[in-house]
């Protein structure tokens, strides 16, 4: 098969806990606002916030892509004012960094006290622009990744493990049923 598990749910859980521990050390006496990017970051954000000790708030926002170069606009805005808040931005995957750069600028324009960037996956070999990633659960290579929030054509977000697609052409020709077990 052209697809295999690259991180199973136990490994994901231990990495999520490690990042939560780091954040718990950094964030002691403030009420952080944890902000996730729809839709890919949802499972990661849910598990991460459950593992965080801080008294925190959660919000989400959604993006629409337009034009070239990873330009994005807000399709669903953050409901919470960001001014003077310590924001923890939760992403699914930072690839070229173009999306994160746009998102960062949009958030920064609202004058938060700080922005800490947390991503589930960091494909840093493909970075085109420098972006501040403070915590990454996993560094990945070129393979396309699905599961635990990440999709192919809108599917597979609900898989509990992370799967790497070895041959995307073969995969797309006959997308397999990767059931939850």
Q: Contact with Mg ion (CB under 5 A): which of 40, 97, 112, 147?
A: 40
Cα 168 to Cα 35, 62, 74, 146, 164, distances in angstroms: 31, 26, 29, 11, 10
How many residues are listed for the chain in this entry?
181
Regarding 95 and contact with Mg ion (CB under 5 A), the answer is no
59 assigned to active site = no
Which one of ligand IMP, Mg ion, none interacts with residue 145, CB within 5 to 8 A by kind? ligand IMP
Residue selected from 96, 138, 157, 178 as contacting ligand IMP according to rule CB under 6 A: 96
Query: Is position 47 an interface residue for ligand IMP (rule: CB under 6 A)?
Result: no
- Using rule CB under 6 A, residue 17 touches ligand IMP: no
Q: Which stretch binds Mg ion (CB under 5 A): 37-45, 81-89, 114-122, 168-176?
A: 37-45
DSSP assignment of 119-163 equals EEEE-GGG-SS-----EEEEE--SSEEEBTTB-BTTB-TT-SSEE
Q: Residue 92, interface with Mg ion (CB under 5 A)?
A: yes
110 vs 130: CA distance, rounded Å: 21
Judged by CB under 5 A, does residue 161 bind Mg ion? no
- Backbone region of residue 26 per phi and psi (left: phi > 0; alpha: psi in -120 to 50; beta: other values): alpha
From the list ligand IMP, Mg ion, none, pick the one residue 159 interacts with, judged by a Cβ distance below 5 to 8 Å according to partner type.
none
């Amino acid at each position: 098969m052209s697809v295999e598990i690259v991180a199973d749910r136990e490994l994901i859980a231990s990495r999520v806990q490690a990042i939560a521990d780091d954040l718990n050390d950094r964030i002691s006496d403030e009420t952080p606002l944890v902000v996730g990017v729809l839709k890919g970051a949802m499972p990661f954000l849910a598990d991460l916030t459950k593992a965080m000790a801080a008294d925190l708030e959660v919000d989400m926002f959604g993006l629409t892509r337009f034009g070239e170069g990873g330009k994005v606009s807000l399709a669903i805005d953050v409901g919470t004012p960001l001014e003077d808040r310590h924001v923890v931005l939760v992403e699914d995957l930072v690839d070229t960094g173009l999306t994160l750069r746009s998102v960062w600028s949009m958030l920064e324009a609202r004058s938060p006290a700080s922005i800490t960037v947390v991503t589930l996956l960091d494909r840093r070999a493909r970075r085109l622009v420098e972006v501040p990633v403070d915590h990454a659960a996993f560094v990945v290579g070129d393979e396309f990744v699905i599961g635990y929030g990440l999709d192919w054509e809108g599917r597979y977000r609900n898989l509990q493990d992370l799967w790497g697609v070895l041959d995307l052409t073969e995969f797309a020709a006959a997308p397999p049923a990767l059931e939850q077990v």
